[in-house]
Amino acid sequence: MTPEEHVPLAPYCTMGVGGPARFFVDAEHEATVIAAWAWARSRGVVLRVLGGGSNLVVADGGVDALVVRVGLRGIETVDQGGDVMLSAAAGEPWDPLVAVTVERGWAGLECLSGIPGLVGATPIQNVGAYGQEISETLVTVRALNARTGQVVTLTHADCRFTYRDSLFKSGEPGRFIVLGVTLRLRRNGEPTVRYDEVKRDVDARGLRRPSLGDVRASVLAIRRSKSMVIDPGDENARSCGSFFTNPIVSVADADRVQALTGGPAMPRYPQSDGRVKLAAAWLIERAGFEKGQREGAVGLSTRHALAVVAHAGATAGDVLAFARRIQHDVDGRFGVSLTPEPVFWGV
């Protein structure tokens, strides 16, 4: 394994900004990932893992590290009664995998349709959308322990999943390199129709008993209407999708925010732990931002207030400055802190 040097990372990221990697290697086999780990460890170089780049912002100065672009491929399935155990390598493109499961009548991923990126990213931030999360189907994660160099299998409990978070993201970031996942899907299972937007779309089409394919079609249509699918011809294409997570607050704080709005009913979603999830996009718009609003080469998506878009000439510094202004204004208006969803390198 001989890494390349000073490789630009912007072309590998959907935001399209940021500087180079000091060292870079494409890894299509587990042996290459392990060799990269050994190379970095022996030289005291930081190791970073790159997937589809759809949830990553790289600083303009780049990153002083060995960046390993994980391209491991392979899918295996095992029948287990009414369930199907599906194992997928970390470099498998996510949405094509979802499409296959839907076509075969395996329930559990249909609402996660249209999400860009690779399989390996899904457990890191407990990817979720439209009423489903990967933690609902994930059984194990195969990973390289970056402390020991050993390949290990982590159970669902080991992953410590919470809302858009896990062991890999904030628990012990950097300790594990995801090599693959195993999911438990329901053969001929009913689709998940929990989310209001999905329910409305299904009802509007007169579907009393929607199939997995029907729900996937609804999710894709909704995402497309918000520029939340990868489309190079879309003016909102250069983004990380949702730039902030929806804040989860106490009931008292939710009531306080509701009182501050003094307007239409505020979206609020009760959580199992007694707290309330608020809609970040709703807060952003009521803090004075509008869809399509721009500051130089950076702005909000014309279709969704939760997506920060980098236009021609934008830098990572521009993106971060705009995001910080949104955080500042939402906090000043409502006393609610917005947490960025992307991973930041070199910032």
SS3 at position 57: strand
Contacts of 101 (CB under 8 A, 6+ apart): 86, 108, 109, 110, 185
* The two three-digit tokens of residue 195, written as one number: 């989310």
Please give the positions annotated as active site: 164, 242, 341
198, 111 in Cβ contact below 8 A?
Answer: yes
Tokens 């998940």 — which residue?
A: 192
Query: What ranges make up the beta strands (E) of 51-175?
Result: 56-58, 63-70, 75-80, 83-89, 106-107, 128-129, 132-133, 138-145, 151-155
Query: What residue type is 179 in one-letter code?
Result: L
Answer positive or negative: Cα dihedral of 109, 115, 117, 121: negative
* The two three-digit tokens of residue 8, written as one number: 């630009």
